[in-house]
Amino acid sequence: MAFRVTANPLLLAGTKLLSAVILLAALAGVLFPEDPFEMVGRPFLPPLSDGFLFGTDTLGRDIAAAVAHGARVSLAIGVITALISTFFGVVVGGVAGYYGGRIDMLLMRTTELFQTVPAFLLAIVVVAVLQPSIYTVISAIVIVSWAPLARLVRGEVVSLRSREFVQGCIALGMSDARILFRQILPNALPSIIVAASVAVATSILFESGLSFLGLGDPNVMSWGLMIGIGRSVIRTAWWIAGIPGIAVLITVLAINLFGDGLNEALNPRSAQRNSKG
């Protein structure tokens, strides 16, 4: 399954942008060693002020420092929630697709239920009930994002399950778990990886929405929180909310491009069907 990254412009652009965001997150502590909550300058300094590339916020905190530290939070929450959601999606979808019948019906009705309930509203209620913290935010996002992954995995498993190599494994007397995890799922891996990368992007959007509403961890500097802080002064100082939003946009854009490119590289047939390009 070798592919050349350079031959795929989407993947290349996505990888470059994403590397920039990851680099920013990694170097946040070096570039801005102070606590991003620290008040370091006069409040409401516009961007490109002396010493403050992106200006300062309502309390004189450095927006550039907050953006860099926020990159850590956004990426970490995005990756962790996507991994957990993918795990649940693979287990639920795998079992449903492999065993079929009643288990399948029960599990798929459950995923349908989670897709019916307004996702963001459910996330809000979960965080509100359990009190905002980084753990409840992660749990809430996982609760609202595992279902589409489970459906995808189920679809893949159902189509692979009737293939001859699986029949062969059954005839050899392999255990169900071994067939599912060692034989079927590796074949479904390309689609799962692509879906998981998209899940990272949606998780970042969910997290920023929650912390914008004041449901993030109050002790963690995140992009959504910064936009929430800037909201009340939007008339006089648009950049306080504007700049962190651009950071979210660039990050989500990078991950989406990366995911699209990955899809073209890993699933060339389905990508061609989808884009005819």
Partner 1 sequence: MSEPRHTDAAAPSPAPVRVSPARQQWLYARRRLVQGIPTVFLIITGNFFLLHLAPGDPADVLAGEAGAATAEFMAQLRAQFGLDEPLYLQYFKYLLRTLTLDLGYSFRYGESNLTLIMDRLSATLLLMVTAVTMSILIGSVLGLIAAVRRGTVVEAMILLAAVLAYAAPTFWLGLMFIVLFAIKLNWLPTSGISTVGAGYTGLQYALDVARHLILPATTLALFYFALYARLMRASVLENLGQNYVITARAKGLAPRRIILRHVLRNAILPVVTMAGVQIGGMLGGSVIVESVFGWPGLGLLAFEALFARDLNLLLGILFLGSILVVLANLAVDLAYAIIDPRVTIR
- 100: alpha, beta or left, given left = phi > 0 and alpha = psi -120 to 50? left
**E-assigned strand segments in 104-227:** none
Shortest spacing between CB 241 and partner 1, in angstroms = 5
Token pair 């860099």 in the structure block, residue: 68
The piece of 21-29, 38-46, 64-72, 124-132 that touches partner 1 (CB under 8 A) is 124-132
Residue 202 CB neighbour total at 10 angstroms: 21
Binder among 41, 209, 259, 261 for partner 1 (CB under 8 A)? 209
Shortest spacing between CB 213 and partner 1, in angstroms = 7
Per CB under 8 A, contacts with partner 1 among 216-275 are 224, 227, 230-231, 234-235, 238, 241-242, 244-245, 248-250, 252-253, 256-257, 273-275
Q: Please, are residues 239 and 46 in contact by the beta-carbon 8 Å criterion? A: yes
List the beta bridge partners of residue 62: 56
Shortest spacing between CB 238 and partner 1, in angstroms = 5
213 scored as a contact of partner 1 (CB under 8 A): yes
Question: Which structure tokens are listed for 119?
Answer: 């996702």
131 scored as a contact of partner 1 (CB under 8 A): yes
Nearer to partner 1, 34 or 135 (CB): 135
Binder among 118, 168, 186, 268 for partner 1 (CB under 8 A)? 118
Nearer to partner 1, 51 or 159 (CB): 159
125 scored as a contact of partner 1 (CB under 8 A): yes
Binder among 2, 129, 171, 172 for partner 1 (CB under 8 A)? 129
The alpha carbon of residue 242 and the mean position of all alpha carbons in its chain are separated, in whole angstroms, by: 21
Question: Which structure tokens are listed for 147?
Answer: 């279902």
In whole angstroms, what is the distance from residue 40 CA to residue 177 CA? 57
Q: How many residues does the chain have?
A: 277
List the beta bridge partners of residue 56: 62
Q: Which amino acid is at 6?
A: T
Q: Please, are residues 241 and 234 in contact by the beta-carbon 8 Å criterion? A: yes
Q: Please, are residues 126 and 69 in contact by the beta-carbon 8 Å criterion? A: no
Per-residue contact flags (x/-) with partner 1 for residues 155 to 194, judged by CB under 8 A: ---x--xx--------------------------------
Binder among 1, 50, 101, 269 for partner 1 (CB under 8 A)? 101
In whole angstroms, what is the distance from residue 224 CA to residue 251 CA? 13
Tell me the number of residues near partner 1 by CB under 8 A.
58
Binding interface with partner 1 (CB under 8 A): 99-101, 104-105, 109-110, 112-113, 115-126, 128-131, 158, 161-162, 201, 205, 208-209, 212-215, 224, 227, 230-231, 234-235, 238, 241-242, 244-245, 248-250, 252-253, 256-257, 273-276
